[in-house]
Amino acid sequence: MISETLRLSSDLGIIQVMAQRDLFIVLSILLLCIFAVSKVVFPKLFVESISIDKLFGFRVKEDLGSTIRPFSTEHIYFTALFGFNLSFVILYVVNSPLVDAGSLHLLQVTSLWQGLLVWLILGVAVNLAIYLKYGLIAITGWLFHARQVVSRHFIDYINASALFYILATLCLSMGTYATFIANETFLRSVAVVIVLFLFYRTVLLYAKVIQLSHYSKLFIFSYICTTELIPILIGLHFVAK
C-alpha cells in the first residue's frame, strides 16, 4: 500500500514537471515571436528602447526610446509586453526547486492550460504593479520637488529592465529546451544574477537621475532609496520568508 502510494506520488510529480516544461516551452516561443513581430512593427522604437546602451550606459541620451511619453500607446504596449515577459521569469522561478511550493501555491503549474491562465493573471498583476511603481515615483517626485525627472526615471526603469529580462527569458528557455529537469545550480545562479541586477539597476538609475536634476547627490540618493532600494529590500524580505 505504501509503495503504491509512493509510486502514484512519483507519477504525479513527473506529470507536473512535464506540464511545467511544456508550458515554459510554449510561453518562450510565444514571447519570442511577439518580440520579433514588435521589432517589425516598431523598428526604431524597439531598437532604441531595448538596447545594450539602456542596460549598461550610465550617460543620459536623448533618443526616441528615452523621451517617449510613459502613457503613449507605444510605450503602454511595450510596458505590457515587459510585464508579461517578467511574469514568465517569475513563474519559472516560483515553479523551480528553489522555492517552497506551499508558500506560493497559487502560482504552481499543474497543467498546460492552468499554467497559461496563471501566466495571464500574473501578467495583468505585474502590469498593475508596474503602474503602481509609476505612482510611487510620481508621488515621491512631488514630495522631493523633483517632478521633472519622474517620466524619464520611469522610462529608464522600464528600458533597463526590459532588456535584462529578455536575456533572462532566453537563458531560461535554453535551459528548458536542453534538459527535462532544470539544474538547481543553474537556477540558483540565475536567481543570484537577478538579485544583483536589482541593485545594479538602482545604481544605474541614480547615475541617470542625478544628471537630470540640479539637486545634491545626497538628495537624489534619498529619492532613489525611496523609489528603488526600499521596495527591493521589502520584496526580497518577502521572498526570503
Q: What confidence tens digit (pLDDT) does each residue in 130-167 have?
A: 999 999 999 988 888 877 888 888 988 998 898 899 99
The four Cα atoms 80, 82, 85, 91 give a dihedral, to 10 degrees, of -80
The answer to whether 86 touches 238, Cβ cutoff 8 Å, is no
d(CA 21, CA 177): 9
The answer to whether 58 touches 203, Cβ cutoff 8 Å, is no
Q: Structure pTM? A: 0.85
Residue 10 pLDDT = 47
Whether the predicted pLDDT of 109 surpasses 50: yes
d(CA 7, CA 1): 10
d(CA 218, CA 215): 8
Whether the predicted pLDDT of 62 surpasses 60: yes
Greatest Cα pair distance, the chain, in angstroms, is 74
The answer to whether 223 touches 146, Cβ cutoff 8 Å, is yes
Rounded to the nearest 10 degrees, the angle between the axes of helix 73-94 and helix 150-178 is 40
Average pLDDT over residues 40-53: 82
The answer to whether 156 touches 53, Cβ cutoff 8 Å, is no
Residue 214 pLDDT = 80
Identify which of 135, 167, 126, 168 has the alpha carbon closest to the alpha carbon of residue 153.
Answer: 135
What confidence category does residue 66 fall into, taking pLDDT thresholds of 50, 70 and 90?
Answer: low
Q: Which residue has the higher pLDDT, 45 or 239?
A: 45
Average pLDDT over residues 122-132: 94
What mean pLDDT, rounded, does the chain reach? Answer: 83
**Of the ranges 41-55, 134-148, 200-214, which one carries the lowest mean pLDDT score?**
41-55
Report for 91-100, 174-183, 220-229: range of highest mean pLDDT: 220-229
CA-to-CA separations, 88 to 115, 140, 195, in angstroms, rounded: 10, 29, 16
